[in-house]
């Protein structure tokens, strides 16, 4: 009579941490027996766990229980009866290695893309950013920009807000821009406006103070809408922040302090190319005309800026020595001045001028 290979081991039932001493017997099945254990496992169902020799650990594929033992002779006999016993361990190691290699390759590709590819491909990447990510990014940058401006109070005088809404609605009608554009006015003496990703615009009250007519303000807003249409804010942020923004979009974290500071600084100092500014000017002239306003309003404010050495001129439009050329081209695009009633009446314009009043 042939004696069955045996070994001593420790069984874990998977329900508790209690260790059960058992005797392992190898027949056509693997039998485990002990004071309170009687288990039989089919050999084809067994898989080995990863351990350091001489310890062996194995159990059924179902994961219901495991046994550990140190007898290497018994382990060799078991492996001879179960050719697939260690395949899972090899597969797991191979899978981890592939994962590490792919991670290294992906990280390297991301770094190279951020350093060399992002600036060159920013124009192509900007329109491809998913709307939900762009919206989250715009919200985060909005908060950061205001923080960097010392958190100026939001101007929400009811009649002034109503006039601003009326003015922007007239401009945006049939413009092709998506719904949900958000314009906020904040009390700050700097005459400027910032277009952010996700259809957001921050207007500083100094800009409203520096415009003489509602059509001039409309022309400035329309200029910013032109940047929105061309995805200039997103393109500028991608090009300016490169690595930080790319990696943040990959991992879905757009709230890290380093990223926010970089994005806020990029938004505050956004300087678009001549081609981008010219395209936004042309868009603004057509938008104001289509809204029924004075198409030459943009040229008028640009001309005033060109003759005004005072730094209080609207920074959003100041780009010396390019301003004079922009004014000339804008007036040419506007053509002969048409008689219009203006985009807001006197009462509405006065309310908009006082939008920051309590």
Conformational region of residue 179, where left means phi above 0, alpha means psi within -120 to 50, and beta covers everything else: beta
Residue 90 lies in a domain: no
- Residue 308 domain flag: yes
Distance CA 279, CA 267 (A): 19
| DSSP designation for 154 | B
Residues 12, 73: one domain?
A: yes
For residue 236, which of 203, 174, 280, 206 has the smallest C-alpha distance?
280
Specify which of 83-92, 99-108, 134-143, 276-285 reaches the highest per-range mean pLDDT: 276-285
Q: Is the Cβ–Cβ distance between 167 and 292 less than 8 Å?
A: no
pLDDT bin (cut points 50, 70, 90) of residue 209 is very high
Instruction: Evaluate whether residue 135 is within a structural domain.
Output: yes
Contacts of 159 (CB under 8 A, 6+ apart): 351, 354
Residue scoring higher pLDDT (143 or 129): 143
**Residues β-bridged to residue 58:** 48, 67
In 72-199, DSSP assigns E strands to 182-186, 193-196
What is the total count of domains within the chain? 2
Instruction: Report pLDDT for 252.
Output: 54
Closest by CA to 71, choosing from 24, 15, 21, is 24
- Per-residue pLDDT band for 77 (boundaries 50, 70, 90) equals confident
* Closest by CA position to 22, among listed 12, 38, 34, 36: 34
Residues 158 and 256 in one domain: yes
Same domain, 123 and 220: yes
Structure tokens at 235: 């393109």
Q: How confident is the model at residue 132 (pLDDT cuts 50, 70, 90)?
A: confident
- Give CA angle at 96 (90, 98), nearest 5°: 100
The per-residue pLDDT for range 238-288, each reduced to its tens digit, is: 776 665 555 555 545 555 555 555 566 566 666 677 888 899 999 999 999
Helix (H, G, I), strand (E, B) or coil at 20: strand
Instruction: Look up residue 261 and give its two tokens.
Output: 């500071």
User: pLDDT (tens digit, 9 = 90+) per residue, 10-39?
Assistant: 998 888 878 889 999 988 888 999 998 899
Q: Which two tokens stand for residue 54?
A: 């001489």
Range of the domain at 331: 109-353
Is pLDDT above 80 for 189? yes
pLDDT of residue 317: 64
Distance CA 17, CA 345 (A): 80
Q: Is residue 93 part of a domain?
A: no
Note whether 177 and 271 are same-domain residues: yes
CA 2 and chain centroid, separation: 70
Residues 79 and 22 in one domain: yes
CATH of the domain at 75: 2.30.29.30
Residues 78 and 220 in one domain: no
The residue with tokens 């992906």 is 106
Instruction: Please tell me whether residues 286 and 179 are part of one structural domain.
Output: yes
Residues 49, 51, 53, 59, CA torsion sign: negative
pLDDT band for position 110 (cuts 50, 70, 90): low
The pLDDT assigned to 273 comes to: 78
Across residues 202-229, what is the average pLDDT? 93
In this prediction, residue 156 carries a pLDDT of: 92
């Amino acid at each position: 009579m042939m004696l069955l290979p045996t070994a001593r081991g420790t069984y874990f039932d998977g329900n508790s941490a209690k260790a059960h001493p058992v005797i392992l017997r190898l027949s056509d099945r693997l039998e485990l027996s002990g004071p309170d254990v009687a288990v039989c496992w089919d050999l084809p169902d067994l898989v080995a766990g990863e351990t350091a020799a001489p310890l062996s650990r194995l159990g059924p594929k179902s994961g219901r229980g495991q046994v550990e033992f140190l007898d290497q002779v018994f382990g060799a006999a078991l492996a001879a009866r179960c050719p697939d016993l260690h395949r899972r361990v090899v597969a797991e190691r191979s899978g981890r290695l592939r994962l590490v290699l792919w991670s290294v390759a992906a990280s390297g590709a991301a770094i190279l893309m951020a350093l060399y590819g992002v600036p060159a491909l920013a124009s192509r990447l900007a329109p491809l950013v998913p709307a939900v990510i762009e919206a989250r990014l715009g919200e985060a940058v909005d908060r950061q920009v205001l923080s960097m401006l010392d958190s100026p109070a939001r101007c929400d005088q009811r009649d002034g807000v109503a006039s601003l809404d009326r003015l922007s609605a007239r401009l945006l009608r049939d413009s092709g821009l998506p719904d949900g554009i958000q314009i906020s006015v904040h009390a700050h003496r700097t005459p400027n406006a910032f277009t952010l990703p996700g259809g957001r615009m921050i207007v500083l009250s100094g800009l409203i103070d520096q415009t003489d007519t509602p059509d001039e303000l409309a022309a400035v807003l329309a200029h910013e809408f032109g940047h929105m249409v061309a995805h200039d804010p997103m393109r500028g942020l991608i090009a300016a922040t490169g690595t930080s923004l790319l990696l943040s979009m990959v991992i879905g974290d757009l709230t890290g302090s380093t990223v926010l500071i970089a994005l806020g600084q990029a938004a505050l100092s956004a300087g678009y190319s001549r081609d981008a500014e010219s395209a936004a000017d042309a868009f603004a002239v057509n938008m104001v005309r289509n809204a029924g306003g004075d198409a030459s309003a943009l040229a008028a404010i640009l001309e005033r800026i060109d003759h005004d050495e005072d730094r209080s001129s609207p920074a959003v439009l100041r780009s010396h020595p390019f301003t004079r050329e922009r004014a000339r081209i804008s007036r040419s695009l506007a053509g002969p001045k048409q008689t219009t009633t203006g985009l807001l009446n006197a009462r509405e314009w006065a309310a908009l001028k006082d939008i920051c009043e309590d």
